[in-house]
Chains A and B, each alone.
Chain A
């Protein structure tokens, strides 16, 4: 029996609502960037490109936290139907990180249009700036997870799928470190994410220890 007792049913249309809710921030951010850059508005302050980059990254971390929170939430509430929405959240996290990366590459670095940023400068930035190296690594680790998210892939990989998808823990931690290293001085936001993720990972470590102990306990 779960702490909150019983297994509640999934609310009608939850899946669709989740997809809509996960899309709204991206739509608003994209709209604000375009409006600020080309229509003279001031939704994102004096540096809309930097602010948009920051917001896409922020939502990536929020969605990653949401995927990590599903299991503890399930155990607490007994709402096992939450599990099937983890993939939606994970894929949206991947979508947001792609938008974060594209904003950096195309709008901030202006890779394809600027005469100051070519392959050489890009390579230098990725290899010589530790916070960008770490960010790139966090992103690259999410690619195999997105690619193997289909039902077909889950079936094909079997037991190895679970092992592979443990990479989300590494990616989330690297993402927070990347954020922490990118701020000038005020670490409040990265610290909050660090604490939340530390809690969610700590919960898992504790759960696996308890399980092992009860499995080994004498009959």
Chain B
């Protein structure tokens, strides 16, 4: 199924911070608490998880801070209390349990590209034409469905977001 998130537009939150002209990116950081999150006791990634967006991506109306899913409040494992949802990007951009949002002038570090740069990029736009080094990204299986479907550029949101990347080489900026 296509996940029914519930939340607020990230742009509403950023507007309140009144970003200056120097702000080019938004950086997100998650909670660091190995007592509650046993996975953080092992350095699988450089905890706490961090992620980032370009300012125009963050201000886009489709970018959401989710507070609920399936008609209920966000459970812990889905990123309570606030979780980023950027529907045209791969899921690892959806940082969970956000405790800090910062506006920065330079591109922020992101946990997965720090770990494996060749496989995880900053932009992470859904793109069936660009393979992951180890597997194809051309088709997908939706949760709850059996048959594979063709993966769509920008996860089907090309009309709404492709203009953000006009002129960019999306193979280089994966």
Contacts and interface: CB of A to CB of B under 8 A. Distances in A.
Contact of B148 (A37, A116, A129, A181): A116
Interface residues of B, number: 15
B127 to A, nearest CB: 15
Contacts of A113: 147
B148 A114 contact: yes
Contacts of B136: 121, 124-125
Contacts of B116: 185
Contact of A47 (B138, B139, B141, B150): B141
Contacts of A131: 134
Binding site secondary structure of chain B: loop
Interface in A114-160: 114, 116-117, 121, 124-125, 129-131
Contacts of A46: 143
- Which of the four size classes fits the interface of chain A? 20 to 34
A35 interface: no
B139 A185 contact: no
A129 to B, nearest CB: 6
A49 interface: yes
Contacts of A108: 141
Given A110-B148, A129-B134, A116 B139 contact: yes
Contacts of B134: 129-131, 181-182
B105 interface: no
Interface in B119-143: 134-136, 138-139, 141, 143
Given A131-B134, A186-B44, A114 B143 contact: no
B45 A47 contact: no
Interface in A59-75: none
B135 A129 contact: yes
Interface of A: 37, 46-47, 49, 108, 110, 113-114, 116-117, 121, 124-125, 129-131, 181-182, 185-186
22 contacts: A37-B146, A47-B141, A47-B143, A113-B147, A114-B139, A114-B147, A114-B148, A116-B138, A116-B148, A116-B150, A117-B139, A117-B148, A121-B136, A121-B138, A124-B136, A125-B135, A125-B136, A129-B134, A185-B44, A185-B115, A185-B116, A186-B44
